[in-house]
Amino acid sequence: MKAEKLRAKVFSRRAAIVAGGQAALFAGLGARLYYLQVVQADRYRTLADENRINLRLLAPPRGAITDRFGELLATNVQNYRVVIIREQTGDMAATLARLAKLLAPDSFDAARIRHDAKRRRAFVPITVRENLTWDEVSRLEVNAPNLPGVGIDVGLSRHYPRGAQMAHVLGYVAAVSEADLTDDPVLQLPGFRIGKRGIERRFDARLRGKAGNSQVEVNAFGRVIREIRRQDGQPGARLALTLDAGLQAFTTKRLVRERSAAAVIMNVHNGDVLTMVSSPGFDPNEFSAGISRESWRRLMRNPYSPLSNKVLQGQYPPGSTFKIAVALAALEAGITVGHRVFCRGFIELGDRKFHCWKKGGHGKMNIQSAIRESCDVYFYDIALKIGVDRIAEMSRRLGLGEKYDSDLDGQKAGLIPTRAWKRAVIGSRWQKGETVVAAIGQGYVLSTPLQLAVMTARAVNGGIAVVPRLALRAGAAQPDFPSLGISAAALRIVADAMDQVVNHYLGTARKSRIEDPAMAIGGKTGTSQVRRITMAERAADLHNNKKKRWRDRDHALFVGFAPVTAPQYAVAVVVEHGGGGSKTAAPIASAMLAEAQRRDSARAAETIAAVSSS
């Protein structure tokens, strides 16, 4: 009995210990559950949501670009693209191999995709190819189970309705390069494009807009189940340009006959650029879609430089168009209209002869007849009298040799030489012969077509320092440009001489005149040599452009304004290796100014008709 009581007592104690242990265990579990489900509930709820909810950035629609009348020049079109996410695909090489069987194997760059995969986060989608056809989208969707991490994304692509006509002004958008990356995560979105040239680059931040975001629920495999919340981004701003799309089309068509040329028209009072064409052009839509290597090589190998905007970046000797600046410099320095020079076809300076373009000479010339007939000898004479530094000072006042503080992207400064410039850059003293050469826009003197248009505008608008612009600013006040401080008398003398260049029977551009007095134009022809003519070549008449290779021919230039009675437009035309300015460039400029005035008249008539009918 005692033994049995002892065993029962031991058992009871052991049972109590086990029960106590179990109670303690359950108490610990309960406490832990309480801690997890009550105390840490918010934390683990957040962690769970983060595991099943993804926050995705949404690319904002890029802002449209229009001409001054609201015609679309750059817009967005729907684009299907295939993307791949590295963390979801497992074997990237195998997946790309499967894609190559479904798409043309050379339609995407596998090496580029692998490179992007290394430099981007594993969850960031990488664009494989854009602009898929509906058949390609269908093939990929049917084979989706065998393509882990691959998806179809619907986005927007930039589209330029007028193609090459506006290419140099608008520029283009293209994929973000490593050099473009910043802390902005939107730059890593698949298919995101930024402005690379022209207006697209100059106003990229304004056109880009702000990204939105989307919260989506995904399963354990990363597949999207549903969209929980969506906040659309802020679209890019709409941008209106000063360009007239119709005039741009007209100018493009006119320049296409030349191998390489540039032309620009601007308003002489407010600086609005109405047309800016560099020929040949290129199709900016190729860059939006992702230009092929072959197309890129073709553009780069083209000897006529289609990617360069020659209006802003082409630096040419201005030839006799530069005589406008020399004439104003001389008049301001005290040379009068009565100052006469006898042109016998050349001048002698030391042991050298400097020839006039007219072999037999022009005879007795004053400043207006010298501009009208483009007498080189007269300008040799006055340049030697006033010196190169005075010429340079007036040239800069007229806008030559500088980049304008405006919205034109990629400008070149050209070159207006001085004595100090030569000493600093070349390390030698300025020579009188260099002044003679500079007087007719040769030698070191270089300018862009845009600068020549600005020079012309400032010379005929009353001497106001107008600056060119491309962007229209709604509600903005008329620009208030400062005076250049040039006497009204000097400006009038030069403007009258430019009128005679076109409308006098001895004018060098007489054949390009506009008969209607209300639309009459003035201007100045120019022909600039691209290589020095030797005495032997001059004697053998080998300087004749018809006898030269294209690349050795002179550049043809013309600057002008219209109408003569109340200047509104300034034009500059440069035809590379086009020969004489009066023969090649002047007719183009005349046609452009006539079209600009005709379009103005047509719109005025439409406005009057609309008002009358209302």
Within 473-562, residue ranges assigned H as helices are: 488-503, 535-539
Tokens read off for 70? 């609201």
Closest CA to 203 of 232, 164, 239: 239
Task: Give the whole-angstrom CA distance, residue 497 versus residue 503.
Answer: 10
Residue 516 to residues 254, 507, 568, 582, 583, Cα–Cα distance (Å): 21, 17, 16, 20, 21
Name residue 428's amino acid: S
* N- to C-terminal Cα separation, the chain: 126
Closest CA to 495 of 557, 565, 441: 565
Q: By CB neighbour count within 10 A (0-12 exposed, 13-18 middle, 19+ buried), where does 141 fall?
A: exposed
Neighbours of 537 (CB within 10 A): 15
What does 56-83 look like in DSSP terms, one character per residue?
Answer: EEEPPPPPPEE-TT--EEEEEEEEEEEE
Determine whether 107 is an active site residue. Answer: no
For the chain, how are helix, strand and coil distributed in percent, rounded to 5? 45, 20, 35
What does 400-465 look like in DSSP terms, one character per residue?
Answer: TTS--SSS-TT----B---HHHHHHHT-S---HHHHHHHHTT-TT-BB-HHHHHHHHHHHHTTSB-
Contact assessment for residue 564 and residue 597, using Cβ atoms and an 8 Å cutoff: no
Task: Give the whole-angstrom CA distance, residue 426 versus residue 470.
Answer: 36
CA 404-523-390 angle, 5° bins: 55
Name residue 377's amino acid: V
Residue found under tokens 């490593």 = 178
What does 410-426 look like in DSSP terms, one character per residue?
Answer: T----B---HHHHHHHT
Name residue 257's amino acid: R
The rounded Cα 269 to chain-centroid distance in angstroms is 23
Residues in the chain: 614
Name residue 392's amino acid: A
Angle between helix axes 92-102 and 110-119 (nearest 10 degrees) is: 150
Contact assessment for residue 154 and residue 79, using Cβ atoms and an 8 Å cutoff: yes
Q: In sequence order, which residues have a C-beta less than 8 Å from that of residue 445 and are 6 or more positions away?
A: 317, 318, 322, 415, 416, 417, 438
Is 522 in a helix, a strand, or coil? Answer: strand
Q: Give, for 20, the enclosing helix (H) or strand (E).
A: helix 2-34
Catalytic residue among 260, 278, 320, 590: 320
Residue 125 to residues 6, 82, 363, 461, Cα–Cα distance (Å): 75, 10, 76, 56
What are the catalytic residues? 320
